[in-house]
C-alpha cells in the first residue's frame, strides 16, 4: 500500500481528526479490499477499526464498522482466523443489544457468517474445539433473538446451496439435535419457540437418505413449540409440508404424526385456512386401509372443533369408506376419494349449519 494512502487511512482512524461513525463504517465495508491491498497493515490496525474498549464510544465505533462488514461482505474462510476475536466480541455486543437497528437487519447477515463457519468446518460440537466454537458461543449467549437467527441462517444456507447439502446436512442435523436436547432440558421453555420453528424448516431440505422414521425424534422435539400458539406459524407449516411429501411413501407414519401434532397442541387451532398439504395428507391416508382409522379419527377431532371444511371431509370420507370396504368384483372401478369430497361439498354447501368459533 502506498505511503500516502496509509497516511490518509491513519488520519481517518484518528478519532480526534474524524469522529464520524458513518465515515468509520467504511473501514468495515471495504475490509476485504484492505486485506487484499495490505494484509499486514490491516492486521496492525484491526484494533483501531474494531476498538476493544467497553466505553460507549469504542462500542459504537466497533458496531458501526462491524455491521458494515457483515452487511456488505460474504463469509470468507481465509479471514475467519484473523477476525475470530472480532467475531467473538461482536457476539457479545449483539447479545447486549449493541447493533444498528435498520431494515437491513445486520443480525441476520452476522448469523449467516457464523452458520457458514460451522457448516464448512469439521469439528464436532461435543469436542473441546466445538464447545469453544463461534456457533456454540452464538447459541449459548441466552439471547432468544440471536438463537432463532442462527437457526434460520443454517436453514437458509442449506436451502440456497443444495449442491453442498451432502456435506452441510449432517452438521445441520447435529446442531438441530443439540438444540432440541437443550430445549428438552429446559422443559421446552417458550424461549425456544422461535428457534425450533426455524429448525423445523430443515425438514424441507432433508436429503433422500432421511425418512419419517429417522427424523421422528427431532420432529417430536418440535411439537411443544410449534403447537403452543392458537395460530399457524412457519414451524407448523414446515412440518405439514414435509408430511405431505412423505405421505405417499409412508401413509401410516405420516398420518400418525399429523394426528400427534393436533393431539399435542396446547390450544385449539384458530385458523380458517387449511392448505393443500393438509388435504393431501388426509386424503391419501384415508384411501389406504392401513392408515384410514387415524385419518378418520383426526377428521372427527376437526369436526368436534367445528372446523367446517373438515366436517365436509368427514361426510365424504365416511361415504368413501363404505364403498371401498365392500367386496370388490373383478373389473370394478372405484371412484377416487377427491371426487366424493367434491360431490359432498356440492350437495351440502347450501345446508351447512353456522358454527360460532
Predicted pLDDT of residue 142: 61
What are the boundaries of each domain within the chain? 1-104, 227-357
Closest CA to 251 of 287, 205, 278: 287
What own/partner pairs with CB < 8 Å and gap ≥ 24 does 77-80 have? Answer: 77/117, 77/120, 79/31, 79/32, 79/35, 80/117
Predicted pLDDT of residue 312: 55
Mean pLDDT for all residues in the chain = 84
- Give the confidence band of 337 by pLDDT, cuts at 50, 70, 90: very low
Q: Is the dihedral of CA 123, 87, 181, 236 positive or negative?
A: negative
pLDDT at 348 over 50: no
Asked if 114 and 83 touch (Cβ cutoff 8 Å), the reply is no
Predicted pLDDT of residue 321: 47
- Tell me: the pLDDT tens digits for 53-67? 888 888 999 999 999
| Residue that wins the pLDDT comparison between 237 and 349 | 237
- Tell me: the pLDDT tens digits for 215-245? 999 999 999 999 988 888 999 999 999 999 9
Predicted pLDDT of residue 331: 39
- Tell me: the pLDDT tens digits for 172-189? 999 999 999 999 999 999
- Give the confidence band of 335 by pLDDT, cuts at 50, 70, 90: very low
- In this structure, the number of other CB atoms found within 10 A of the CB of residue 337 comes to 21
Identify which of 26-30, 93-97, 100-104, 302-306 has the greatest average pLDDT: 26-30
Predicted pLDDT of residue 349: 44
Cα–Cα distance, 201 to 206 (Å, whole number): 9
- In this structure, the number of other CB atoms found within 10 A of the CB of residue 165 comes to 16
Amino acid at each position: 500500500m502506498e505511503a500516502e494512502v496509509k497516511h490518509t487511512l491513519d488520519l481517518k482512524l484518528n478519532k480526534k481528526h474524524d469522529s464520524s461513525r458513518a465515515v468509520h463504517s467504511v473501514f468495515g465495508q471495504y475490509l476485504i479490499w484492505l486485506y487484499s491491498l495490505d494484509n499486514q497493515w490491516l492486521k496492525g490496525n484491526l484494533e483501531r477499526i474494531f476498538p476493544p474498549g467497553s466505553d460507549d464510544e469504542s462500542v459504537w465505533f466497533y458496531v458501526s464498522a462491524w455491521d458494515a462488514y457483515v452487511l456488505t461482505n460474504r463469509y470468507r474462510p481465509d479471514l475467519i482466523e484473523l477476525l475470530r476475536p472480532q467475531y467473538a466480541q461482536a457476539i457479545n455486543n449483539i447479545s447486549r443489544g449493541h447493533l444498528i437497528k435498520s431494515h437491513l437487519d445486520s443480525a441476520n447477515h452476522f448469523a449467516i457468517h457464523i452458520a457458514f463457519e460451522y457448516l464448512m468446518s469439521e469439528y464436532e460440537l461435543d469436542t473441546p474445539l466445538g464447545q469453544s466454537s463461534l456457533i456454540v458461543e452464538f447459541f449459548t449467549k441466552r439471547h432468544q433473538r440471536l438463537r432463532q437467527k442462527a437457526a434460520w441462517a443454517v436453514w437458509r444456507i442449506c436451502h440456497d446451496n443444495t449442491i453442498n447439502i451432502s456435506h452441510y446436512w449432517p452438521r445441520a442435523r447435529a446442531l438441530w439435535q443439540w438444540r432440541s436436547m437443550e430445549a428438552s432440558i429446559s422443559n421446552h421453555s417458550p424461549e425456544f419457540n422461535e428457534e425450533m420453528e426455524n429448525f423445523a424448516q430443515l425438514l424441507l431440505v432433508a436429503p433422500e437418505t432421511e425418512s419419517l422414521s429417522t427424523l421422528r425424534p427431532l420432529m417430536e422435539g418440535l411439537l411443544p413449540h410449534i403447537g403452543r400458539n392458537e395460530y399457524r406459524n412457519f414451524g407448523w407449516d414446515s412440518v405439514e409440508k414435509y408430511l405431505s411429501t412423505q405421505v405417499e411413501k409412508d401413509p401410516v407414519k405420516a398420518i400418525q404424526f399429523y394426528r400427534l401434532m393436533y393431539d399435542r397442541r396446547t390450544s385449539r387451532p384458530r385458523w380458517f385456512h387449511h392448505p393443500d398439504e393438509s388435504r393431501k395428507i388426509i386424503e391419501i391416508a384415508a384411501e389406504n386401509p392401513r392408515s384410514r382409522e387415524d385419518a378418520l379419527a383426526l377428521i372427527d377431532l376437526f369436526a368436534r372443533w367445528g372446523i367446517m371444511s373438515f366436517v365436509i371431509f368427514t361426510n365424504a370420507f365416511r361415504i368413501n369408506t363404505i364403498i371401498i370396504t365392500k367386496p370388490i368384483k373383478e373389473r370394478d372401478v372405484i371412484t377416487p376419494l377427491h371426487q366424493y369430497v367434491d360431490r359432498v361439498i356440492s350437495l351440502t354447501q347450501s345446508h351447512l349449519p353456522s358454527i360460532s368459533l
